[in-house]
């Protein structure tokens, strides 16, 4: 049993290094994006091998799904081949080597993987592991730590995603929703097979997103992953049926409201805890029984996270696509 | 035992797909290789979940299948849409 | 009965592994894009079906069986579709199969 997992670990890590080297040397940026998709899938497989299911989930959705999609949108406006010959420049090389040296030194000094006396296993983690079944009572301990014990950090993450969406909207869309343009319908109209298969798949994808959202307490999943899955379903619709149709289904105005709504829900749960007599984001006071209060709090904030992440991703995708579209039209 | 053999076969094929992604003369070869890699990853996750006895990994396999399909469609879509820019062709849409 | 199921499951898994390996070899060694796509597409769907069926026989009744069924349905629907989209895109982008002597530019 140990030999096979070591073998798998070594193979996946070797493939990671090979792909990373190839990405750096490749001049065709399209190929680089493809390779980065492979890199994301490899990383996610490695996380699965390390028994980190939630992280693997998120890495698959983001690193192999959303990230190449967004990079492709950027490529359509930037151009495909890396420009210019490369000269070796001394200062960046030295800086990078120094950074790499420092990182290696730090990693070598870390305690061995899984050692019992490692700092990450010693202090608060012990308390979380022992007390979580009694205090919070959900099987997936990752969710209980993320949503309840470290709720502030998760609030910060949601606000970061919200801010990113706001930044993209301001820079690319000028802050005001424009009327949707006529997209190139003719191109996709020939793709009957894809459209029919898409019509079958998109409801399943959205349903799977709902499953992941509400099942996050019992298995890998939760708000972030569910939000990304939802966004991917809507983006698939936009790709198969055209941007203007997609914007009729989810208008930009609605998306801007939704992305704020998620953060609002999260903050309001904290506020409700304050009003009920506890500290900010202490869910135990939300119901008469503290375990029920924890459950209510966790479900609500995961919902907030899911809503913000889904609308942020869709908003960023729409903004990128519209920006490249309007540049093309300006040039013609 | 049998599952281990399947897992090893899958990793070997994943390495072959990477080789094709690095070699492939045209961009379509690379897209094919990425698609192949994705479906093999789905199977690898499913097999690994049985080797390690963790049935919750099957959710991860399901989402990989989704993501793989959607990225292939996205790539082909952008390739078609932006083909005048992306391929630097002069004249009408290739 | 239980032994029959185990034998069947092992058979499916081994056959699937063999098909996957031959498909991978085809992708590496075939001469042009369309032949490679044929190797990948045919073996990918068939082998994935066999492996997932093998795993389904290996696990008992329960939720994992249902999830494997979903994975199987998904792979069977999206595998051929992805091959179709790839081939169509390849033709649209100007690739032609080896040994294609016609002068068709329009499709």
- State the complex-level ipTM: 0.82
Q: How confident is the model at residue A309 (pLDDT cuts 50, 70, 90)?
A: very high
Closest to A307 (Cα-Cα) out of A190, A236, A227, A242: A227
Tokens of B87: 């391929």
Is residue C85 over pLDDT 80?
Answer: yes
User: What does pTM read for this prediction?
Assistant: 0.82
Q: How far apart are CA C105 and CA C107, in angstroms?
A: 7
Q: Which phi and psi angles does A83 have, rounded to 5°?
A: -85, 150
Q: Which phi and psi angles does A306 have, rounded to 5°?
A: -60, -45
pLDDT at A260: 92
- Does any CB of chain B come closer than 8 Å to the CB of residue A120? no
Q: What is the DSSP letter of A145?
A: I
Given B16, B28, B36, which is nearest C44 (Cβ)? B36
- Does any CB of chain C come closer than 8 Å to the CB of residue A105? no
Q: Which residues of B touch C28 (CB under 8 A)?
A: 16, 19-20
C77:A191 CB<8 A: no
Q: Which helix (H) or strand (E) holds B71?
A: helix B57-81
Is residue B90 over pLDDT 50?
Answer: no
- Does any CB of chain C come closer than 8 Å to the CB of residue A200? yes
pLDDT at C43: 82
Q: How far apart are CA A320 and CA A142, in angstroms?
A: 33
Q: Which of A46-60, A62-76, A139-153, B68-82 is predicted least confidently? A: B68-82
Q: Which residues of A touch C84 (CB under 8 A)?
A: 193-194
Best probe of the C interface among A34, A53, A187, A194, by most C CBs < 10 A, is A194
Closest to A72 (Cα-Cα) out of B24, B35, B38, B77: B77
A194:C85 CB<8 A: yes
Q: Which helix (H) or strand (E) holds A141?
A: helix A141-144
Q: How far apart are CA A255 and CA A315, in angstroms?
A: 7
- Higher per-residue pLDDT: B53 or B94: B53
- Higher per-residue pLDDT: A65 or C50: C50
A197:C88 CB<8 A: no
> Does residue B45 sit in helix, strand or coil?
helix
B/e letters for C53-82, b = 16+ CB within 10 Å, e = fewer, are: bbbbbbbeeeebbebbebbbebbebbbbbb
Q: How far apart are CA A198 and CA A208, in angstroms?
A: 15
C78:A197 CB<8 A: yes
Task: Provide the chain C residues 65-84 that lie in CB contact (below 8 A) with chain B.
Answer: 67-68, 70-71, 74-75, 78-79, 81-82
pLDDT in tens, A180-204: 554 444 445 567 788 888 888 889 8
Closest to A249 (Cα-Cα) out of A238, A262, A260: A238
**Which residue on chain C is closest to B67 by alpha carbon?**
C78
Which residues share a beta bridge with A28?
Answer: A81
Closest to A262 (Cα-Cα) out of A213, A295, A322, A220: A213
Q: How far apart are CA A289 and CA A227, in angstroms?
A: 30
A22:B22 CB<8 A: yes
pLDDT at A160: 93
pLDDT at B85: 43
Given B2, B20, B29, which is nearest C14 (Cβ)? B2
pLDDT in tens, A237-247: 888 888 888 88
Is residue C106 over pLDDT 70?
Answer: no
Please count the residue pairs, one from chain B and one from chain C, whose beta carbons lie less than 8 angstroms apart. 125
Closest to B24 (Cα-Cα) out of A140, A156, C35, A202: C35
């Amino acid at each position: 049993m140990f030999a096979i997992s070591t073998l798998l670990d070594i193979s996946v890590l070797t493939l990671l290094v090979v792909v990373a080297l190839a990405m750096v040397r490749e001049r065709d940026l399209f190929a680089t994006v493809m390779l980065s998709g492979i890199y994301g899938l490899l990383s996610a497989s490695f996380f699965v091998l390390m028994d980190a299911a939630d992280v693997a989930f998120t890495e698959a959705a983001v690193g192999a799904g959303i990230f190449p999609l967004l990079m492709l949108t950027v490529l359509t406006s930037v151009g495909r081949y890396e420009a210019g010959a490369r000269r070796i420049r001394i200062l960046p090389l030295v800086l990078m080597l120094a950074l790499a040296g420092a990182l290696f030194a730090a990693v070598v000094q870390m305690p061995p993987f899984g050692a019992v006396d490692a700092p990450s296993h010693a202090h608060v983690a012990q308390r979380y592991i022992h007390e979580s079944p009694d205090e919070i009572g959900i099987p997936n301990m990752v969710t209980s730590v993320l949503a309840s014990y470290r709720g502030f950090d998760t609030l910060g993450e949601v606000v970061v995603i919200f801010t990113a969406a706001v930044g993209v909207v301001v820079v690319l869309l000028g802050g005001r929703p424009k009327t949707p343009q006529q997209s190139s319908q003719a191109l996709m109209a020939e793709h009957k097979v894809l459209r029919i298969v898409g019509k079958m798949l998109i409801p399943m994808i959205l349903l799977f997103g709902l499953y992941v959202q509400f099942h996050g307490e019992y298995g890998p999943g939760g708000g972030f992953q569910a939000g990304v899955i939802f966004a991917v379903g809507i983006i698939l619709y936009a790709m198969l049926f055209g941007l203007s149709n997609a914007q009729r289904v989810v208008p930009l105005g609605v998306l801007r409201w939704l992305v704020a709504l998620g953060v609002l829900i999260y903050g309001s749960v904290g506020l409700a805890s304050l009003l009920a007599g506890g500290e900010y984001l202490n869910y135990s006071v939300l119901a008469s029984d503290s375990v029920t209060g924890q459950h209510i709090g966790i479900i609500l904030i995961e919902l907030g996270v899911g809503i913000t992440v889904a609308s942020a991703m869709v908003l960023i995708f729409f903004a990128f696509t519209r920006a490249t579209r309007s540049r093309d039209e300006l040039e013609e | 035992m049998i599952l281990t053999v399947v897992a090893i076969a899958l990793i070997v094929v994943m390495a072959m797909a990477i080789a094709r992604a690095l070699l492939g003369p045209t961009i379509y070869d690379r897209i094919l290789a990425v698609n192949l890699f994705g479906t093999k990853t789905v199977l690898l996750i499913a097999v690994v979940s049985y080797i390690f006895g963790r049935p919750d990994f099957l959710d991860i396999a399901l989402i990989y299948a989704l993501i793989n399909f959607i990225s292939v469609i996205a790539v082909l879509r952008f390739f078609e849409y932006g083909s005048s820019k992306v391929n630097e062709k002069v004249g009408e849409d290739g | 009965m239980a032994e029959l199921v185990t034998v069947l499951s092992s058979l499916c898994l081994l056959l699937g592994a063999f098909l996957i390996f031959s498909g991978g070899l085809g992708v590496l060694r075939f001469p042009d894009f369309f032949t490679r796509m044929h190797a990948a597409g045919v073996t990918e769907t068939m082998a994935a079906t066999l492996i997932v069926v093998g795993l389904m026989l290996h696990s008992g009744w329960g939720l994992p069986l249902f999830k494997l069924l979903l994975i199987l349905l998904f792979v069977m629907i999206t595998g051929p579709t992805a091959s179709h989209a790839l081939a169509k895109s390849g033709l649209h982008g100007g690739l032609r199969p080896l040994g294609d002597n016609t002068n068709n530019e329009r499709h």
